């Protein structure tokens, strides 16, 4: 059932939200990645993986965590915390959508400063390839309190879905929990900035 039908019928929407764990920049160590499954705003499950800091395997890592898992057939939407994990290990949003056959949404806490992002990326190898991944993520939409990029669904439908998946604040519950759990795993306690 597609998202528009789920909204119209007031059915539960199952989402997975991915966020990376805190990491030491420049350490070269892999970064942990939490994927939290929620039915609406209720926690239902979790996947855990790791990816390269400033690397090239974010899309592949998410796909490996989901393809063949018990969760993928239950999911309606994939949420990621921004387009990059572990610094600038950027997700190829159209590729993620094609592999998982689900709407994929990069949710941001605020409108990004693209000039600052490009400047930071320029210190890393393969700037052109990173810029291409940034471009592939597509238009940035704003539907307060949400700022997002989407592949595989109408942005207006996604804005409604994000509202349904958010308990309080500006972040869908799956992403909020991914942030809290990944921080607790690394630091021994969750951070307050979910």
- How does pLDDT run along the chain (194 residues), one tens digit per residue? 899 999 999 999 999 999 999 998 888 899 999 999 999 999 999 999 999 999 999 999 999 999 999 999 999 999 999 999 999 999 999 999 999 999 999 999 999 999 999 999 999 999 999 999 999 999 999 999 999 999 999 999 999 999 999 998 889 999 999 999 998 888 788 776 65
Three-class SS state of 185: helix
Candidates 89, 87, 47; CA nearest to 181 is: 47
Q: Which CATH superfamily is domain 3-185 in?
A: archaeoglobus fulgidus dsm 4304 superfamily (3.30.2170.10)
According to the model, what pLDDT value does residue 194 have?
56
Residue from 157, 145, 133, 178 nearest 76 by CA: 157
Q: What is the pLDDT of residue 55?
A: 96
Tell me how far apart the alpha carbons of residues 10 and 106 are, in angstroms, rounded to a whole number: 24
pLDDT value at residue 169: 82
pLDDT of amino acid 190: 79
Break the chain into its structural domains and give their ranges.
Answer: 3-185
Peptide bond connecting 145 to the previous residue in cis, omega within 30 degrees of 0: yes
Instruction: Find tokens 């306690």 and name the residue.
Output: 189
Q: Is the dihedral of CA 183, 188, 193, 194 positive or negative?
A: positive
pTM attached to this predicted model = 0.96
* 26 three-class SS: coil
């Amino acid at each position: 059932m597609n998202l528009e039908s789920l909204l119209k019928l007031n059915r539960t929407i199952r989402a997975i939200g991915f966020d990376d764990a805190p990491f030491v920049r420049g350490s070269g160590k892999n970064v942990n990645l939490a994927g939290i499954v929620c039915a609406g705003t209720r926690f239902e499950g979790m996947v855990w993986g790791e990816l390269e800091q400033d690397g090239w395997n974010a899309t592949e890592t998410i796909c490996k965590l989901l393809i063949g898992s018990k969760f993928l057939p239950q999911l309606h939407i994939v949420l990621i915390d921004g387009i990059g994990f572990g610094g600038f290990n950027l997700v190829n949003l159209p590729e993620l959508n094609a592999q998982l056959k689900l709407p994929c949404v990069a949710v941001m806490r605020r409108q990004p400063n693209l000039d600052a992002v490009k400047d930071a990326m320029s210190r890393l190898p393969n700037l052109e390839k990173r810029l291409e991944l940034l471009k592939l993520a597509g238009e940035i939409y704003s539907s307060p309190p949400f700022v997002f990029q989407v592949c595989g669904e109408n942005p207006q439908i996604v804005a409604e879905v994000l509202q349904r998946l958010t308990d309080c604040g500006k972040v869908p519950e799956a992403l909020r929990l991914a942030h809290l759990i990944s921080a607790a795993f690394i630091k021994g306690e969750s951070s307050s900035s979910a």
